Structure 1
Amino acid sequence: MFRTDLKPIVAAAIGLVMYSMPLAADGDRMDELFDRLQRADDSRDAAQIEQEIQMEWRKSGSPAMDLLQKRGRDALERRDFDAAIEHFGALIDHAPDYAEGWHGRARAFFAKGHHGLAVADLERALALDPRQYEALFGLGVILEQLDRPGPAYDAFGLVLQLHPHHERAAAAIKRLDRGVNGVEL
């Protein structure tokens, strides 16, 4: 089983998210969407805003890169993880500053059980887009699987700071809370 000291990687990822958010220059549209997500009244409103954010994330600015991304996503859905890694790898080669390529390849690496490679790609995705809460959620999932409940809890908490209605992150926080924070007497 692959083991590595993830503490510096997690600290760097959390630092990137915490200290880069005000500096993130995603444009007015993304700022407006994240503001709306923070103010969403319920999970239904949040889900609609989340779809808009994901549509914005998927805009690479190039039809060729959009095609590589679609092929990678399609391969993930078919559970053809090797093909997904190839498509997302090609996307990264041609658009190394596009966070979704890194996030997509991280998902494929994770599905194949390559946690170290997945963490490295998630770290790069978060460096490029500190508000990419799905990449941060993926990092939390990997940390939890590697029996690192404290850093996983922190990652899920950061997801909820970005997306207060993220149901899977809220469930993970609830699941990990007792083990991380103990029981109050």
Structure 2
Amino acid sequence: MMADGIHIFAALAVALAVAAGSAHAQRAPELVPPEAEPPVDIPATPEPLALPPEPEIEDRAAALDALFAALAASGEREWQPLQQQIQATWARNASPSMTLLLARATRAMEAKDYPRALLFLNDLVRLAPDYAEAWNRRATVHFLEERYGHSVADIQRTLALEPRHFGALAGLGIILDRLDRDAEAYRVFKRALEIHPHLEGARAAVERLAPDVEGRPL
């Protein structure tokens, strides 16, 4: 989801759906979550065009490590700015043209013009296959259009590139929950909380699923 409208991975609508108990759809056995523990409440991502230039890879990795460490130890007053800094770092791209494509896709998503957003994101993942946030945004579009198989495939690509992407993990948990795959959803939501302990929607989902799941093998 993006600024004031679409949060990373359907933040507001999805968080409410999880907290209330997601509407269950038919099972889809072909959906297989990532083996590395594998898209809750994610506030708006800063506008991509306003971001500073992408730092060197080593500096970016070190900055993310520090931000995630601070997020894990943060209290109620500190976590939101840290989350926004992490999201801003994910959204950055060294190429101005890639940043522009992401901005255009974001605006189309905010306008609920999902076919147009998908055109931009298809180009983006083709031109920048190592750009994790491009895969995450496309996963969001597929999710909003209820193409869960496509969404899971893009979430897997996101997590392969950025294993700590709590937005992608939360979205994966939501999809699995909707497909009645309780044990897998429970595991994914718990993993998201290990990374980001302030995801209230994920915490509510864990509490709802725990009585049933903890009584049988995961």
Q: Report if TM-score (shorter chain) is over 0.5.
A: yes
RMSD value, Cα: 1.7
Shift of 1:179: 2.6
- 1:2–1:116: 8 Å Cα contact kept in structure 2? no
Compute the TM-score of the two structures, normalised by the length of structure 1. Answer: 0.86
Matches within 5 A, 1:121-136: 121-136=154-169
User: Higher relative contact order by CA 8 Å / sep ≥ 6: 1 or 2?
Assistant: 2
- In structure 2, C-alpha distance between the alignment counterparts of 1:54 and 1:92, rounded to whole Å: 18
Shift of 1:2: 7.8
Shift of 1:72: 1.3
Matches within 5 A, 1:51-90: 51-90=84-123
What is the CA deviation profile of residues 124-160 of structure 1, one whole-angstrom value per residue up to 9, with x for unaligned ones? 0000110111001110010001111110011000000
- Secondary structure, counterpart of 1:12 in structure 2: coil
Aligned residues, how many? 170
Matches within 5 A, 1:1-185: 3-6=28-31, 9-14=32-37, 27-42=61-76, 44-182=77-215
Compute the TM-score of the two structures, normalised by the length of structure 2. Answer: 0.73
- In structure 2, C-alpha distance between the alignment counterparts of 1:66 and 1:95, rounded to whole Å: 10
- 1:85–1:108: 8 Å Cα contact kept in structure 2? yes
Question: Among the aligned pairs, what percent are the same residue?
Answer: 39
Structure with more of its chain in helix, by fraction: 1
Flag structure 2 segments of 5+ consecutive residues without an equivalent.
1-25, 39-57
Shift of 1:181: 2.3
> 1:120 and 1:96, CA in 2 relative to 1: closer, same or farther beyond 3 A?
same
Runs in 1 of length 4+ with deviation above 2 angstroms? 1-6
- In structure 2, C-alpha distance between the alignment counterparts of 1:100 and 1:2, rounded to whole Å: 28
> 1:174 and 1:61, CA in 2 relative to 1: closer, same or farther beyond 3 A?
same
